[in-house]
């Protein structure tokens, strides 16, 4: 019996020893397995400089500590945020340089913040594509498409451009199609046009279910102050523009129109629907939205006007269902919410569905304003 008791005791005491041995072996095994290095600036730059790479996952936060190198040439480039736990990784410019220049671009699940577009940044074709002051965070000059989804643009800027900058966060000229979906633009600013976004001469642009708050357009050059339009968005010469399900709060344009959205249209069509405009401000016209429909051979001050071929035979602006307006301001013009200037454009028109909102000023020839939902 004593031996049995002794044997049982030995079996029990051996269990912790065996567990300790297995744990030690496991720890030793782990010690010889190389651990994955944390994602950082070197990984990001390596992707930018690899001309064979057209897709890259950003797996951690990146903070600039020097100027960006020139971007290796390629026809398209996709950046997707894949930080641990599904977190949106941050690419922080630390107010040193601008952001990404490329030809065709896709961005998903990222945050761009603290970029300064005063300097040219990446180059897609071996030379600077952007002149001074284009795109605080991203400048994409493309004959193809630009797709941006679930991305945040925070506190980006274009400063020191003498009123000639474009896009405090994002500048898109000449795209065949750009689509911006479920994005946030907050606190971006430009010494020029388009506090958050400036788009010019694109064939089609769609801005969907995105929010714009505290963005601003201003001018450090007095002669250009009236052209500091589009506190959040400035559309200049695009053929087709669609803005749906967006919110605009507290955006400001120091220029004459478009506290939230400014559009310059020539043989073009623009539709705004299901969007909220609150506490936006313009110096003179259109605290929420300001639109200028221009005749042919038009020149607006010192800023030339160009268009991309292929637009509609005449211009039309559609304000469709679901738009709301609250506490927008615009000087003493009486156009706190909407301003549309269609003088000398008898073939163009503006449509309101289901009715024209209050505090709207439409300067147009008789018969060019329609109350209808047929175009919506």
Q: Which tens digit of pLDDT belongs to each residue from 333-368?
A: 889 999 999 987 777 899 999 999 999 999 998 889
4 falls within a domain: no
The domain tally of the chain equals: 1
Nearest to 261 by CA among 176, 199, 172: 199
16 falls within a domain: no
3 falls within a domain: no
Dist. CA 110–CA 183, nearest whole Å:
10
Query: In Å, what is the CA distance from 281 to each residue of 259, 287, 346?
Result: 4, 4, 29
224 falls within a domain: yes
Q: What is the 3-state secondary structure (H, E, C) of 309-370?
A: CCCCCCCEEEECCCCEEECCEECECCCCCEEEECCCCCCCEEEECCCCCCCEEEECCCCCEE
132 falls within a domain: yes
H/E stretch holding 19:
helix 2-31
**Average pLDDT, stretch 129-133?**
37
35 falls within a domain: yes
Q: What is the pTM of this model?
A: 0.83
pLDDT at 358: 97
Dig out the tokens for 126 from the structure. Answer: 């071996």
Q: What confidence tier does 239 reach under pLDDT thresholds 50, 70, 90? A: very high
**Average pLDDT, stretch 238-262?**
97
pLDDT at 123: 28
List the single range of 206-220, 318-332, 343-357 with lowest mean pLDDT: 343-357
The percentage of residues in the chain with a pLDDT greater than 90, rounded to a whole number, is: 49
Measured at the CA of 364, the angle between CA 218 and CA 207, to 5 degrees, comes to: 50
203 falls within a domain: yes
pLDDT higher than 70, residue 291:
yes
pLDDT at 356: 97
Range of the domain at 253: 23-371
pLDDT at 245: 99
261-270 residue pLDDT tens: 999 998 899 9
pLDDT at 29: 36
**Average pLDDT, stretch 224-246?**
94
Measured at the CA of 314, the angle between CA 312 and CA 315, to 5 degrees, comes to: 90
12 falls within a domain: no
């Amino acid at each position: 019996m004593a031996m049995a008791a002794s044997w049982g005791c030995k079996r029990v005491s051996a269990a912790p020893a065996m567990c300790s041995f297995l744990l030690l072996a496991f720890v030793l095994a782990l010690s010889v397995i190389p651990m994955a290095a944390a994602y950082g600036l070197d990984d990001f730059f390596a992707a930018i400089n690899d001309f064979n790479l057209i897709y890259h996952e950003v797996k951690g936060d990146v903070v600039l500590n020097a100027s960006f190198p020139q971007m290796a040439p390629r026809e398209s480039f996709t950046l997707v945020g894949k930080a641990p736990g599904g977190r949106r990784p941050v690419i922080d410019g630390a107010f040193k340089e601008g952001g990404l220049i490329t030809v065709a671009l896709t961005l998903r699940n990222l945050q761009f913040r603290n970029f300064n577009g005063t300097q040219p940044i990446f180059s897609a074709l071996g030379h600077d594509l952007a002149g001074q002051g284009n795109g605080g965070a991203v400048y994409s000059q493309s004959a193809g498409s630009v797709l941006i989804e679930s991305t945040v643009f925070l506190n980006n800027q274009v400063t020191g451009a003498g009123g000639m900058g474009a896009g405090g966060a994002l500048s898109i000229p000449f795209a065949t199609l750009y689509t911006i979906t479920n994005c946030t633009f907050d606190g971006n600013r430009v010494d020029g046009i388009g506090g958050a976004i400036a788009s010019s001469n694109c064939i089609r642009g769609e801005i969907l279910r995105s929010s714009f708050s505290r963005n601003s357009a201003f001018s450090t050059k007095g002669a250009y102050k009236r052209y500091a339009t589009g506190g959040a968005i400035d559309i200049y010469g695009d053929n087709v523009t669609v803005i749906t399900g967006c919110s605009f709060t507290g955006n400001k344009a120091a220029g004459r129109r478009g506290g939230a959205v400014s559009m310059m249209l020539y043989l073009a069509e623009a539709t705004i629907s299901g969007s909220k405009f609150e506490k936006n401000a313009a110096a003179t016209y259109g605290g929420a939205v300001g639109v200028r429909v221009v005749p042919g051979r038009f020149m607006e001050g010192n800023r030339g006007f160009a268009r991309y071929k292929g637009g509609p035979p005449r211009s039309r602006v559609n304000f469709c269902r679901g738009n709301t307006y609250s506490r927008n301001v615009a000087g003493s013009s009486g156009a706190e919410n909407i301003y549309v200037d269609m003088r000398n454009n008898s073939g163009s028109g503006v449509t309101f569905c289901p009715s024209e909102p209050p505090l709207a000023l439409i300067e147009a020839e008789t018969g060019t304003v329609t109350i209808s939902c047929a175009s919506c």
